[in-house]
Chain A
Amino acid sequence: MDLGWLVSTVSRALAFGVPLLWGTLGEIYAERSGVVNLGVEGMMILGAYAGFAVAQTVGVPALGLLAAAVVGAAAALWHAFLTVTLRANQYVSGLALTLFGLGLAGLLGRGWEGKPLRVPLGAITVPGLAEIPVLGPMLFVDQTILTYLGVLLAVILWVVLFRTRWGVVIRSVGESPATADSLGINVTLVRYLCVALGGLLAGVGGGYLSVAYRPSWTEGMTAGMGWIVIALTIFASWDPLRAIWGAFFFGALYHLSFRLQAYVSPELLKLMPYAFAILVLAVSGFGGARWRRRAPGSLGIPYVRGER
């Protein structure tokens, strides 16, 4: 493998990994507070539609991404209302959100397909850094601002989660909401905020797809990315920094599954990224107590004061 291979693989891994990274960071926060949200796919597609519709109407891609964030957060609040306030089953509500999002975006998107976005979010060249041999073309050209913001965000979210009081609050709500409650923490508020943040970031991930990655709208364009996000959340063991590696590693596998077709059976390669996801889930299941201990203790369990 010469350097050209390495450069293009890393560069594509970053570009493809962006929506996965944003989505995974969001899901990590939601799950850290104890709420599983299987609605990532639905929030992403709503974000993709809203992002495209606004960017196309206004002509400003940044506003499209803002709209994607707002819509993603709004969709997540619905999930929060059902699961935190009404204590509905989190898995059922999340699945419903995915189906609802795909359906609604498809309906609203009628008439928007077949039109390229007027002003897409363009790739940037990082001044100075782009000149570095090998590393420059690998990391600092052909990426949108969302690649770098995503990595920065991951670092910030890691610091907040593990080095601040807020992080302790979020993690304690996810581990043992009864204990947190008895310490005077507003469990409902924390869960609402974390789930909303999750939707916001998933919305941006979806908006990236329709505003930057492939600047146009087509129904169902997220094509299962939301589910990869769910797997990556577990792979990252609910750690924002590991999400960076997870998302970009998956991106590299995905790109290589096309790149290597000249040498390896395409059917096998097609399976590779997903086989990896299954492997991760299997390892996390069998890998026993250590991995399971990393999962938030009350994940998936609605909190009712006074019940255990």
Chain B
Amino acid sequence: MNVRKLWLLVAALVMGGLLAMGADKIKAGFIYVGPIGDYGWTHAHDVARRIVDEQYDWLETVYIESVPEGEVETYIDQLVRQGCNVIFTTSFGFIDGTFAAAQRYPNVIFAHASGFKRAPNMATYMADFYQVYYLNGLMAGALTKTGKIGYVGAFPIPELKRHISAFTIGVREVNPTAEVHVRWIYEWYNPAAAKEATEALIAEGCDVFAFTEDSPTVIQVAAERGLASFAHYSPMYAFAPDYVVSGQLVHWEVIYDDFLVKVHEGVYTNKNLTHVDYWWLLAQKAAELGAEIGMPVNPQYVAPLQGYVIDHPTFGRISVYDLVFVRYNQMADPGITFDPFEGPVYDRKGNLVVPAGMWMSYDHLITMEWAADGVVGPWPGEP
């Protein structure tokens, strides 16, 4: 067999392979920043991947975990070689690598989580929690006895500042003098750091805890001391059934489902993604209130929350338990009628950051650096 015949054979095999795959098959590759066993961010993305993978016959998925942020392009190359035609990169730090790869592979569709750079073949998506953090804050404000609530944060970036400020606005709505004490661990995942940060907050008198980092450590440490806490991201109720009050749960699958179906149906192509930016919240069911799916508030905490009654400027005398659900419905309803950052909002330095009657714009939300009144502790980058 001469070289030319060999080439023809190879070409025929490749063509046949492509035809056999069918034109409408989608092979989606997922690039994760952490291990899928982290029980946090990456774990949640992988749970979602498996849900959509089982849902559709036309969909095949593959993933690569623990990819260093600077090396994402190499792994994208690898997924493209494996035949992926849709690639999801799930960490903010993948932003530039994904953008560069999108230029290099114009026929592949990219979607980048939590970023802001888009291209004709690159969309962005995010499931955000600030509304749910606000609801958690309402409950935390009612449950603290010392007036000090502890918050363990991963990095002082706008996403966390938004979470903490929304949480604090909730706290102050029901308990105007309570404080939210913040400690940063400068890592998304480091159980030992999260533990010592929690211990430091306990030593300072905090008695209710919330956090944004990727492990259930804060819950476990608080429970050891008999203190209440709020879960983050994954179902963490089982870690301390007597002490986890509520929390936030993510449903990335609703975004992946929507996106992949639209790619499959030809609605999204490699030419029209420049303005495709998912910013999905309670109303789109990308976020859920609770520490366990289907359980918004731990039944053990219903009575204490019903027993904490306040005089609310809008709703009059109302229990915090009822307030949580009134606010929940206002935000979960498709015609959203309330936002935690409804003006007037003052930062902790006394500046008016959201004028009366106004809501924060999307751009303001994703770039916010200020701290809401009631936040105590270091706030790197504070304006």
Inter-subunit contact B220/A219 (CB<8 Å): no
B-side contacts of A109, CB under 8 Å: 37
Inter-subunit contact A8/B239 (CB<8 Å): no
Inter-subunit contact B39/A218 (CB<8 Å): yes
Pick the residue among A116, A221, A265, A267 that contacts B238 (CB under 8 A).
A116
Pick the residue among B184, B190, B203, B235 that contacts A223 (CB under 8 A).
B190
Bitwise interface map of A from 202 to 228 toward B, beta carbon under 8 Å scored 1, else 0: 000000010001111011110101000
Pick the residue among B190, B192, B196, B216 that contacts A216 (CB under 8 A).
B216
Q: B87 near A: Cβ within 8 Å?
A: no
Bitwise interface map of B from 344 to 378 toward A, beta carbon under 8 Å scored 1, else 0: 00000000000000000000000000000000111
Minimal beta-carbon separation of B250 from chain A (angstroms): 14
Listed stretches A180-188, A252-260, A287-295, A300-308; interface member: A252-260
Q: A86 near B: Cβ within 8 Å?
A: no
A-side contacts of B215, CB under 8 Å: 218
Inter-subunit contact B220/A214 (CB<8 Å): yes
Number of A-B contacts (CB under 8 A): 105
Minimal beta-carbon separation of A55 from chain B (angstroms): 15
Inter-subunit contact B377/A219 (CB<8 Å): no
Q: A267–B216 Cα gap in the complex (Å)? A: 24
Q: A44–B186 Cα gap in the complex (Å)? A: 23
Pick the residue among A110, A215, A221, A258 that contacts B197 (CB under 8 A).
A258
Inter-subunit contact B37/A258 (CB<8 Å): no
Q: B227 near A: Cβ within 8 Å?
A: no
Residue of B nearest to A264 (CB): B378
Inter-subunit contact B199/A255 (CB<8 Å): yes
- In this complex, the member of B35, B200, B239, B240 whose beta carbon has the largest number of chain A beta carbons within 10 angstroms is B200
A-side contacts of B192, CB under 8 Å: 16, 209, 213-214, 223, 225, 254
Inter-subunit contact B199/A262 (CB<8 Å): no
Q: A216–B221 Cα gap in the complex (Å)? A: 12
Bitwise interface map of A from 1 to 20 toward B, beta carbon under 8 Å scored 1, else 0: 00011001000100010000
B:178-193 near A, CB below 8 Å? 181, 183-187, 189-193
Q: B339 near A: Cβ within 8 Å?
A: no
Inter-subunit contact B37/A216 (CB<8 Å): no
Q: How many residues of A contact B (CB 8 A)?
A: 35
Q: Given A213-B192, A216-B239, A266-B380, do A4 and B35 touch, yes or no (CB 8 Å)? A: no
B-side contacts of A5, CB under 8 Å: 203
A:261-299 near B, CB below 8 Å? 261-262, 265-267, 270
Q: A113 near B: Cβ within 8 Å?
A: yes
Residue of B nearest to A221 (CB): B191
- In this complex, the member of A113, A115, A258, A262 whose beta carbon has the largest number of chain B beta carbons within 10 angstroms is A258
Minimal beta-carbon separation of B239 from chain A (angstroms): 5
Pick the residue among B35, B191, B195, B377 that contacts A106 (CB under 8 A).
B35
Inter-subunit contact B216/A219 (CB<8 Å): no
Pick the residue among A214, A254, A265, A266 that contacts B217 (CB under 8 A).
A214
Q: How many residues of B contact A (CB 8 A)?
A: 39
Q: Given A116-B239, A219-B37, do A261 and B186 touch, yes or no (CB 8 Å)? A: no
B-side contacts of A218, CB under 8 Å: 37-39, 189, 191, 215
B-side contacts of A261, CB under 8 Å: 183-184, 200, 377-378
- In this complex, the member of B39, B199, B240 whose beta carbon has the largest number of chain A beta carbons within 10 angstroms is B199
A-side contacts of B187, CB under 8 Å: 223
Q: B319 near A: Cβ within 8 Å?
A: no
Inter-subunit contact B189/A220 (CB<8 Å): yes
B-side contacts of A220, CB under 8 Å: 35, 38, 189
A-side contacts of B199, CB under 8 Å: 8, 12, 255, 258
Q: Given A218-B39, A223-B190, do A267 and B380 touch, yes or no (CB 8 Å)? A: yes
Q: A261–B377 Cα gap in the complex (Å)? A: 7
Minimal beta-carbon separation of B229 from chain A (angstroms): 13
Residue of B nearest to A217 (CB): B37
B-side contacts of A112, CB under 8 Å: 37
- A-B complex: 8 closest residue pairs judged by Cβ atoms: A219-B37, A219-B35, A258-B200, A8-B203, A259-B200, A258-B197, A113-B37, A223-B190
Interface residues of A (CB under 8 A from B): 4-5, 8, 12, 16, 106, 109-110, 112-116, 209, 213-216, 218-221, 223, 225, 254-255, 257-259, 261-262, 265-267, 270
- 18 CB contacts below 8 A, A to B, read A8-B199, A16-B196, A106-B35, A116-B220, A209-B191, A214-B195, A218-B39, A218-B189, A223-B192, A223-B193, A255-B196, A255-B200, A258-B183, A258-B199, A258-B200, A265-B378, A267-B186, A270-B186
